[in-house]
Amino acid sequence: MIISRRMNLPCFCPVLLLALQASLLSSSMAESPQDRTQETYLQCLIDSSDPSSPPISPLAFFPSNPSYSSVLRSYVRNLRFNSSTTPKPLFIVTPTHVSHIQASVVCAKIHGLELRIRSGGHDYDGLSYVSPAPFVIVDMFNLRSVDADAEGGTAWVESGATLGEVYYAIAARSGVHAFPAGVCPTVGVGGHLSGGGYGNLMRKHGLSVDNVVDAVVVDANGRVLDRGSMGDDMFWAIRGGGGASFGVIVSWKIKLVSVPEVVTVFKVEKTLEQGATDVVHRWQYVADKVDERLFIRVVLLPVVRKDQRTVKAKFVALFLGGADELLDVMSQSFPEFGLEPKDCLEMSWIESVLFWSNYPKGTSPNVLLQRIPESEKFLKKKSDYVQEPISKVGLEGIWNKMMELKRPALTLNPYGGRMSEISDSETPFPHREGNIFKIQYSVTWKEEGDEALNQNLNRIRSIYNHMTPFVAKSPRSSYLNYRDTDLGINQIGNESYSEASIWGTKYFKANFDRLVQVKTMVDPNNFFRYEQSIPCMSSWPSRMAE
Ligand SMILES: Cc1cc2nc3c(=O)[nH]c(=O)nc-3n(C[C@H](O)[C@H](O)[C@H](O)COP(=O)(O)OP(=O)(O)OC[C@H]3O[C@@H](n4cnc5c(N)ncnc54)[C@H](O)[C@@H]3O)c2cc1C
Ligand SMILES: *[C@@H]1O[C@H](CO)[C@@H](O)[C@H](O)[C@H]1NC(C)=O
Ligand SMILES: *[C@@H]1O[C@H](CO)[C@@H](O)[C@H](O)[C@H]1NC(C)=O
């Protein structure tokens, strides 16, 4: 009964809620979601779909279906959530038509099930396909068309497409267009665009969400809305607030950006013995202020060289221009780096996408169409923002901690440029002016079992604690697309504004309150809920009154 109580708590005022809870409790006493049969659910899906759309039955996978496990596993991108104890959905719907999404929403609602929406499945904490409550998955992978209109400079992209498919389609039509989004080609458009989306074009062109001009969404009532019919508030919220709190995003209209025919990349490594500390220290004063066509990422890894522990700093760059100009920019702004002509590689933008994904030179862009990564790992990630350069002594302390812990990798991504020109409240993504760079902390491992899990969670939490004095403090901030449930989660059925505001403020700063207002307006019954969904207003007046 706990389960049905958790499940049926909508986002209402508490007095109503108790009455409602009591009535739902008695009605669900006879039949819990697990007791209901496959036939009941399937019939609901059939009855709720548009009869003129393709039949939904072959697109619904129940545990009795031999393909259920492989469909479920296809987009599990973190082996922590591939275990026999990971909660499994009652069924998975793989829509080929918007009406299948509408039917899934309607039937999940009728039967009091939670709905998880999965596009590329890259959520670091598995929130697109795991839930502690009885749930179903709408898996968007069949809806993945990319309709690029290079002349008009826009494209309609379905949520189930991967970034690789988007990049491939753009490059197939134009050598001078691109889209600012993530570096990893298997990331899904659905989660990526609704959570911000950054990549190496960010300093020149901003985030993915800064380049979204329209969207098609299925809301909590099963209605299909576009930018005009959803209104400004919901269109604002889904561009960085996390789509899954507001609706199922079917497709996005994106604005393409111009890139030169020839861009330049480099990848240069330096260990501590080769002066990494000085160069990383200096990088902090340059990377967010230099020419906005230049993006220099730093990846820091503890490694062993000649039986000695050290830290390797890997600098990976994209410059939107030719090598000669890049060498000029670097010798003026960052002479300490010592960039040499032999480090620079000129290529097309699409080749730079492959370079950044570590494909060898000459690899065909067709690899961008591979949806499944070559290997899977267990992983945990966290993030921080840095607003003041870290001193050399501070950096040395960080290196020592990394060498002691052996595992965490830190990726530093510079901000500034276009990012500082967009106001904090333009979209829900608030980390704009004043941020020098973002850190991603990462542990990955291959060993199964709790021992390796706990060891690695301890490692990443330990470096995160160590970093406290060096990172943004008011609030300590995080990037939504680097999902981190350590920051706090909703108590199922008892989402409170005050608790959610702890993690909500880290992801959204002052925008959290507007997200709560939009949520309350567009989904007052809190149908679209998960561990870090935006709560409705309901819980907070009562808590304020306490
Ligand atoms: C290997 C790797 C590399 C990455 N690189 C980058 C990077 O370079 N830049 C960057 O910004 N981020 C990066 N990320 C993070 C990535 O942007 C997020 O994990 C993103 O949310 C993934 O989107 P998805 O559709 O693949 O994930 P999913 O797991 O499918 O979804 C993530 C979240 O979005 C929701 N969601 C998904 N689809 C929809 C939809 N259609 N409608 C409404 N809600 C939806 C889900 O319910 C879930 O809450 C990376 C992640 C990985 C694993
Ligand atoms: C996920 O788990 C299943 C079942 O235990 C297993 O067969 C499969 O190999 C696992 N996937 C990976 C990538 O390890
Ligand atoms: C809801 O959460 C609050 C804050 O954690 C807690 O005090 C309260 O007891 C919870 N209520 C229920 C019904 O679980």
The pLDDT, as a whole number, for residue 7 is 32
| Residue 32 pLDDT class (50, 70, 90 cuts) | confident
Structure tokens at 270: 């330096």
Q: CA 40, CA 315: separation in Å to the nearest integer?
A: 56
In the predicted structure, residue 9 carries a pLDDT above the cut 90 = no
Ligand 3 pocket at CB < 6 A: 491, 494, 496, 499
CB distance 354 to 368 below 8 Å: yes
Q: Which residues contact 236 (CB under 8 A, 6 or more apart)?
A: 427, 428, 514, 518
Among the bound ligands, name the one nearest to the CA of residue 209: 1
| pLDDT tens digit sequence for 418-451 | 999 999 999 999 999 999 999 999 999 999 999 9
Which of 211-220, 485-494, 500-509 comes out lowest in average pLDDT? 485-494
CB distance 184 to 209 below 8 Å: no
Among the bound ligands, name the one nearest to the CA of residue 70: 2
Give me ligand 2 centre to Cα 84, in Å. 9
Give me ligand 1 centre to Cα 121, in Å. 7
Among the bound ligands, name the one nearest to the CA of residue 446: 2
The pLDDT, as a whole number, for residue 15 is 35
79 close to ligand 2 (CB < 6 Angstrom): yes
CA dihedral for 393, 397, 403, 409, sign (positive or negative): negative
Give me ligand 3 centre to Cα 492, in Å. 10
| Residue 14 pLDDT class (50, 70, 90 cuts) | very low
| Residue 375 pLDDT class (50, 70, 90 cuts) | confident
Report helix angle 511-522 to 227-237, nearest 10: 140
The pLDDT, as a whole number, for residue 36 is 78
The pLDDT, as a whole number, for residue 496 is 85
| Residue 58 pLDDT class (50, 70, 90 cuts) | very high
Nearest CA to ligand 2 atom 2: 82
Give me ligand 3 centre to Cα 219, in Å. 29
Mark out the alpha helices in 159-221 (DSSP H runs). 163-173, 189-194, 202-205
Among the bound ligands, name the one nearest to the CA of residue 163: 1
CB distance 212 to 192 below 8 Å: no
| Helix (H), strand (E) at residue 442 | strand 437-445
| Residue 150 pLDDT class (50, 70, 90 cuts) | confident
In the predicted structure, residue 538 carries a pLDDT above the cut 80 = no
Among the bound ligands, name the one nearest to the CA of residue 79: 2
443 close to ligand 1 (CB < 6 Angstrom): no
Q: CA 523, CA 230: separation in Å to the nearest integer?
A: 12
Give me ligand 3 centre to Cα 246, in Å. 24
The pLDDT, as a whole number, for residue 8 is 32
Q: Where are the domains of the chain?
A: 14-139, 263-347+377-470, 488-544
82 close to ligand 2 (CB < 6 Angstrom): yes
| Residue 28 pLDDT class (50, 70, 90 cuts) | very low
The pLDDT, as a whole number, for residue 34 is 65
| Averaged pLDDT, 13-25 | 38
Phi, psi angles (nearest 5°) of residue 311:
-120, 135
88 close to ligand 2 (CB < 6 Angstrom): no
Best mutation site among 92, 123, 203 for ligand 1 pocket (most ligand atoms within 8 Å of CB): 123
Nearest CA to ligand 3 atom 10: 494
In the predicted structure, residue 394 carries a pLDDT above the cut 50 = yes
197 close to ligand 1 (CB < 6 Angstrom): yes
In the predicted structure, residue 543 carries a pLDDT above the cut 60 = no
Cis peptide before 524 (omega within 30 of 0): no
| pLDDT tens digit sequence for 252-267 | 999 999 999 999 999 9
160 close to ligand 1 (CB < 6 Angstrom): no
Nearest CA to ligand 2 atom 7: 82
In the predicted structure, residue 545 carries a pLDDT above the cut 60 = no
Enter the CATH code of domain 14-139.
3.30.43.10
Atom of ligand 3 nearest to the CA of 496: 2
Percent of the chain clearing pLDDT 90 (strictly above) = 88
Among the bound ligands, name the one nearest to the CA of residue 492: 3
Q: Give the mean pLDDT of the chain.
A: 92
Q: CA 247, CA 270: separation in Å to the nearest integer?
A: 46
Fold of 263-347+377-470: Vanillyl-alcohol Oxidase; Chain A, domain 3 (3.40.462)
| Residue 374 pLDDT class (50, 70, 90 cuts) | confident
Atom of ligand 1 nearest to the CA of 78: 53
Nearest CA to ligand 1 atom 8: 182
| Averaged pLDDT, 406-427 | 97
| Averaged pLDDT, 194-222 | 98
In the predicted structure, residue 546 carries a pLDDT above the cut 50 = no
Give me ligand 3 centre to Cα 494, in Å. 6
In the predicted structure, residue 25 carries a pLDDT above the cut 50 = no
Q: Regarding predicted confidence, which is higher, 12 or 96? A: 96
The pLDDT, as a whole number, for residue 492 is 76
Nearest CA to ligand 2 atom 10: 82
| Averaged pLDDT, 86-90 | 98
| Averaged pLDDT, 335-358 | 98
| Averaged pLDDT, 366-391 | 95
140 close to ligand 1 (CB < 6 Angstrom): yes
What 3-state DSSP class applies to 315?
strand
Nearest CA to ligand 3 atom 11: 494
| pLDDT tens digit sequence for 219-246 | 999 999 999 999 999 999 999 999 999 9
Best mutation site among 2, 20, 494, 540 for ligand 3 pocket (most ligand atoms within 8 Å of CB): 494
Report helix angle 497-508 to 511-522, nearest 10: 120
pTM: 0.93
188 close to ligand 1 (CB < 6 Angstrom): yes
| pLDDT tens digit sequence for 262-299 | 999 999 999 999 999 999 999 999 999 999 999 999 99
| Residue 31 pLDDT class (50, 70, 90 cuts) | low
Q: CA 319, CA 333: separation in Å to the nearest integer?
A: 14
